[in-house]
Structure 1
């Protein structure tokens, strides 16, 4: 299989030589008034005689364009929504090159007031140190949340527990607008308060530059939120309803004047997430078993509000103040039927365990940012920002055991209380200066403070009173401080680019279990070098390479020894003694961009030390799972992404990722080693149908794989999305069915000489209908709504 994959890669890369001839056309498109670059402007090369389009492209983030043609008799048409199109004739060809220079487009106010047309955006863009995935065309994510959007991004997977993986590996740092956010905490679950209509694009950095925090062994995912800055009043509103309950209302409003840009986003809704579960715990020494089967229903009411303003002192200096308030009110019920069996399979006892959980999760974040541009093009600037955030969780769970069979089943009532609070502060300075036309220097620093307190207690109801269980109750305090400084230098020419950087971070971590006076202090300083290079082999083919060293510090929820006791025979807890993971990451990518199709292929390798994995041990008949540092992990993989447009009404894209694991280490004084592999594939078909209908079909497969103790099953699933544009695109109606065949499962087996454990979870099908409306100069939202973990 490996030979076939490598053959596919090099066959795709080898075809580029056929497209290396012709005339190269370059230029830059800007707003005539502000002189800011215009991204995604449409560039068409038209035959002078017939007027037919010869080639086309869109501009990059800096407004630049590049494309090629065999024809010598053509004109150029430049257009963008809301601006007056320009047509350039009398093209001068010099040495097989055409430089259009800077093309300034004038805003077409009358057109924008009359009609709103949605700009089509390229799905994927490759930059020197990251890939950018534009969200706007994902029809099957109607009613989705940020987690669902991430699950549709190539290289990214989100499992049923809400864990985010990048190329099959955890330890991902998630940012919002390039900075840490209170919404990326809580194990990623707080991202459910971000509705998908708020998201502009997702940036994936498998080898981030030294400019970014070194956190995240597998890389960084940056979620960039929409922020309209066209003058006038702009906005959009969306309404969604679904089965099971997925009801939401989303609203955005922006007003831009000469000095101010006021922006706001609101999301509010209610959702239900049902789940079926099964579990089996078997003691291999005695043959005794505990089996359970049941269902869970989680209900959430959520609210998210973002308010902010930009104030322009002048054309080059702007200050931004923004705030974010999010709230989740949770209620969860669980009912499971438990049975015990002896070594001969005889049922000994049975009981029903019922759970009721209530929780409130308020989250605040506020930010002040100042940017000063020293040049008109914005390439030389200073950026200073300060962010503060707080997150609280007040959760109470009650459990009741009701005997149903046998004398061994006893009545039991338990209570779990969890009072959690977290405060974070980030102070950051970034300075960028071009030294010459092709050289750029960046430097800056960041200071991050995290302060967490968690009071937890588990009690049994005995003789009419609640009695706290001391060994399962404590007050846990956690403090982390990280100081980082960095510097990068970049050289970017027409064909070759090189960027090198170095980041230094000093980390201090302190944990304290107050009741037992268990204290853990960690202090360490690390250097994190990064290197990125690119080379344009031909007009349609380029190569990229990158290296970075990264760290994954234990999160609070990995350290917190709070027990989850939904199943008293299979509990999970954190590990206060957990150490950080380190990784060295290498990558080489080939990118082929032809007018009919695009293809990229990456070969990558990651060497991870102090690897963190969930380890299960058996104590007094109870399986206890907690994260531990277990040896090293060598990951070698191949990733291929391709897109093709066979006709003007049909496009398809495919993503494939294969990686091979080589695990080794020592556990309980005994060495271990094993090899495993996993692969994922996704195929997306999009159809433009008559009467402004669009259809999207997504098929997704995740293979089984092995970890230190577990075998994780694979699954196949499918999503469907339908969209209808009406009233000149101002109103969009979306219908999505996620997990059409209810085949997305989480199934694992834990293998150990002393015990066997089996776990199964399934969520089911989600159907959502949404309507969105864009007004002013805004665009109708593509989708919005709730989350599915």
Structure 2
């Protein structure tokens, strides 16, 4: 029945799309000149927009040239003309005549408003959240917690989003989130790459959270999509900024951003370099409940990196309607990991049998590059009538060697010293075409397709020291090859009036996945085709109150490390492996959202329900004191949740942001005659206070709490932590000095327990307190923008 339902909905979308095929062919030319009302001088690059008379929504627009002159072509015959520029009062022209297809506005004089800029800044700080038909948009440019931070830290301040200590991103408590950069997959958002490491706080304009994506987006990601929008400087002339940062633990960087824009070209570049160190304290307990033997381990793991990053790109405006963009990004990291873990083995009487420590010395070189080519074609009849074609290619490599040495300080044992070698290569290429055609202000039709090719090779070997020589361990050595191709095509149709809107869509995806273990000559092939329908609607009950509802069908395809059966031997008593036979997860997601806006208070509440089949869970087994963890498809998960986000402007100098999320879920499934049926719940909350002090000083404090939750085999602990930041503008706003402290009380500790009849496993990990101090300065027409080195996730 579900498949039949998807077919019916797909046909409905196609019918709806065809039914909207109508357009007006009449072209009208609107022209004029924008002048300063006080001096009579031309206002360069003033914005001119044509608005629908009824809905006041933009139809099309243009920017005046250096002489204040503008011309706009439109097919609409009923509109308003709105003219604006920073530092001037907006002017709306309602009455004009059309003669021979031309509207000549003549000279338009704008009056200066010296207070306008400050008012815009205040509104930008107040308006962090926007709502669109199928997404929520969080503007982060004025979020103090982003100062000196990485993209992962910014995401951790977005409502509904959580970033774990290890950098794993979840949405409403669930994984399987797809991360996009400017609407496209990127090596910068790859778990196997630098994990958003090249994206810094100054580069991010806004973050779109799409919990129920429409058919336009990839069906990948059962929890939804997070789309990070990167700033693109549109100011003409030369702009730039330079930043210096330092921190504890070591986090030192220098960054330079440059932008040069003319009428035809926009050349942009960024150059960054630095050194960072991220220690991680960990503790593990492995207890055999049959014979009561215990292995304890405790230590600090390090991954230190010297990094270099270079971005160069250009936009070429062939004419008013055609733009070509070409950019490249190259990064190089030199990595070393001096780590030590202390072990102790206890017998059934809790007496120490042996003690030893395991030292690791790791060195790696990690090259990474990406190209991005894009062609955008705008059409005269409507500003949203566009054709967008793009090609994105990326490569990430890792050439790594590790030495592990075991030294006994009490008792004896049979552990050997070991060496590992890793040669990892990943290449991904994406080709995409999107076409958007608004047939009127209310009706819009979209269609497009894309093809993604992902090739990975992981050559991994382990050698054991035997008799003074290192001998390759065939059981732990292999070449794993991974190749996945996904072809997709979609269409959507939408109707959006002043009070009510609806968007329907369907997406088809065909997946061809192949894995191969070269040493053991074992291959696995999976091919499947799927339809993913979507439906979204919104109702604006009043200016203050709106309701949104949505449905989408999603997929979560197993990643490389989910499939690769080989592992890192950093801790050889807690081993995580992949599963080449892992199947994808499928999720049907439903959501109802209400938005309530007042002068000083805004509230957003949502009720959601998700039904997931073939859920991927990590199952732990125990043998000879070693815990083996492996992903496996087990049954279904039904999750129901409530989410509330709110913002209160208590005073001009004091703003509160808060969110609360509660979910309850029911798990059903079995593995090898063992039932895993249970129900549980979890809740989290966050409160953020932003305080504006005299002398251009801003202070921000946030507190976070996440409750404990039952897992398939045990429990994850609660987490409580706080962050702090302070920022001071200097040099007439050109310079910014900022200080931020993450996890002020060093209380953010991730703990988990696995409790089974035959064994008990406890693990904890703590990153600790991070302190960052930065200075940035903007020159030319630029503003101060911070650059900071972010951290890899893998």
Interval of TM-score (by shorter of Structure 1 and Structure 2): 0.7 to 0.9
Pick closer, same or farther for the CA change 1:767–1:79 going to 2, 3 Å. farther
Is residue 555 of structure 2 the alignment partner of residue 551 of structure 1? yes
1:604 Cα deviation from its structure 2 partner:
0.5
Match of 1:577 in 2: 581
> For 1:695, which of 689, 693, 699 is the aligned residue?
699
1:402-441 map, 5 Å: 402-407=407-412, 409-410=413-414, 412-441=416-445
For residues 580-609 of structure 1, what are the alpha-carbon distances to aligned partners after superposition, in whole Å with 9 as ceiling and x for unaligned?
111001000000111111100000011111
Match of 2:27 in 1: none
1:333 Cα deviation from its structure 2 partner:
1.7
For residues 421-443 of structure 1, what are the alpha-carbon distances to aligned partners after superposition, in whole Å with 9 as ceiling and x for unaligned?
01111000000001222100000
Match of 2:496 in 1: 492
Unaligned runs of 5+ in 1: 1-29, 40-57, 65-77, 92-100
1:193 Cα deviation from its structure 2 partner:
2.8
Is residue 650 of structure 2 the alignment partner of residue 646 of structure 1? yes
1:352 Cα deviation from its structure 2 partner:
0.8
Match of 1:659 in 2: 663
Structure 1 SS opposite 2:383? coil
> For 2:456, which of 444, 448, 452 is the aligned residue?
452
For residues 101-127 of structure 1, what are the alpha-carbon distances to aligned partners after superposition, in whole Å with 9 as ceiling and x for unaligned?
9x99979999999xx989834211111
> For 1:199, which of 199, 204, 226 is the aligned residue?
204
1:291 Cα deviation from its structure 2 partner:
0.6
1:253-292 map, 5 Å: 253-292=258-297
1:171 Cα deviation from its structure 2 partner:
0.4
1:445 Cα deviation from its structure 2 partner:
0.1
Q: Separation in 1 of the partners of 2:653 and 2:355?
A: 59
RMSD: 2.9
> For 2:154, which of 149, 155, 159 is the aligned residue?
149
1:327 Cα deviation from its structure 2 partner:
2.3
Match of 2:479 in 1: 475
Is residue 506 of structure 2 the alignment partner of residue 510 of structure 1? no
Contact 2:245 2:252 in 1 (8 A): yes
Contact 1:140 1:736 in 2 (8 A): yes
Match of 1:770 in 2: 774
Match of 1:212 in 2: 217
Q: Separation in 2 of the partners of 1:88 and 1:603?
A: 40
1:161 Cα deviation from its structure 2 partner:
1.2
1:570 Cα deviation from its structure 2 partner:
1.2
Q: Separation in 1 of the partners of 2:112 and 2:527?
A: 58
Is residue 316 of structure 2 the alignment partner of residue 323 of structure 1? no
For residues 677-734 of structure 1, what are the alpha-carbon distances to aligned partners after superposition, in whole Å with 9 as ceiling and x for unaligned?
1111111101110111111011111111122113111111111110111222111111
Q: Separation in 1 of the partners of 2:544 and 2:333?
A: 48
Contact 1:234 1:775 in 2 (8 A): yes
Pick closer, same or farther for the CA change 1:460–1:117 going to 2, 3 Å. same
Structure 2 SS opposite 1:210? coil
Is residue 476 of structure 2 the alignment partner of residue 501 of structure 1? no
Q: Separation in 1 of the partners of 2:33 and 2:304?
A: 47
Unaligned runs of 5+ in 2: 1-31, 35-43, 51-55, 63-81, 96-104
Q: Separation in 2 of the partners of 1:285 and 1:770?
A: 55
Structure 2 SS opposite 1:137? coil
Number of residues paired by the alignment?
A: 716
Structure 2 SS opposite 1:362? strand
Match of 1:356 in 2: 361
1:192 Cα deviation from its structure 2 partner:
2.1
Match of 2:244 in 1: 239
1:537 Cα deviation from its structure 2 partner:
0.8
For residues 134-160 of structure 1, what are the alpha-carbon distances to aligned partners after superposition, in whole Å with 9 as ceiling and x for unaligned?
111221333211111111111111111
Match of 2:311 in 1: 306
Pick closer, same or farther for the CA change 1:486–1:283 going to 2, 3 Å. same
Contact 2:459 2:479 in 1 (8 A): yes
Match of 2:467 in 1: 463
Q: Separation in 2 of the partners of 1:104 and 1:671?
A: 75
1:452 Cα deviation from its structure 2 partner:
0.6
Contact 2:398 2:422 in 1 (8 A): yes
> For 2:370, which of 365, 374, 394 is the aligned residue?
365
Q: Separation in 2 of the partners of 1:690 and 1:388?
A: 48
Q: Separation in 2 of the partners of 1:334 and 1:61?
A: 60
Contact 2:47 2:84 in 1 (8 A): no
Match of 1:296 in 2: 301
Q: Separation in 2 of the partners of 1:217 and 1:321?
A: 32
For residues 266-317 of structure 1, what are the alpha-carbon distances to aligned partners after superposition, in whole Å with 9 as ceiling and x for unaligned?
3322111112111100111111111111112221222222211111111111
Match of 2:402 in 1: 397
1:187 Cα deviation from its structure 2 partner:
4.8
Contact 1:147 1:788 in 2 (8 A): no
For residues 553-585 of structure 1, what are the alpha-carbon distances to aligned partners after superposition, in whole Å with 9 as ceiling and x for unaligned?
011111112212122111111111111111001
Contact 1:744 1:764 in 2 (8 A): yes
Contact 1:143 1:769 in 2 (8 A): yes
Match of 1:533 in 2: 537
Q: Separation in 2 of the partners of 1:309 and 1:568?
A: 49
> For 2:385, which of 370, 380, 385 is the aligned residue?
380
Pick closer, same or farther for the CA change 1:637–1:411 going to 2, 3 Å. closer
1:87-102 map, 5 Å: none
Pick closer, same or farther for the CA change 1:106–1:274 going to 2, 3 Å. farther
Contact 1:118 1:729 in 2 (8 A): no
1:679-758 map, 5 Å: 679-758=683-762
Match of 2:190 in 1: 185
For residues 354-405 of structure 1, what are the alpha-carbon distances to aligned partners after superposition, in whole Å with 9 as ceiling and x for unaligned?
1111122211110111111112642111111111111111121111000111
1:244 Cα deviation from its structure 2 partner:
1.0
Contact 1:396 1:415 in 2 (8 A): yes
Structure 1 SS opposite 2:349? coil
Contact 1:198 1:265 in 2 (8 A): no
Pick closer, same or farther for the CA change 1:153–1:715 going to 2, 3 Å. same
Q: Separation in 2 of the partners of 1:250 and 1:425?
A: 29
For residues 508-549 of structure 1, what are the alpha-carbon distances to aligned partners after superposition, in whole Å with 9 as ceiling and x for unaligned?
000000111111000000000011100011111000011000
Structure 2 SS opposite 1:528? strand
What TM-score does the superposition give when structure 1 sets the normalisation length?
A: 0.86
What TM-score does the superposition give when structure 2 sets the normalisation length?
A: 0.86
Structure 1 SS opposite 2:195? helix
Match of 2:679 in 1: 675
Pick closer, same or farther for the CA change 1:110–1:537 going to 2, 3 Å. closer
Contact 2:59 2:382 in 1 (8 A): no
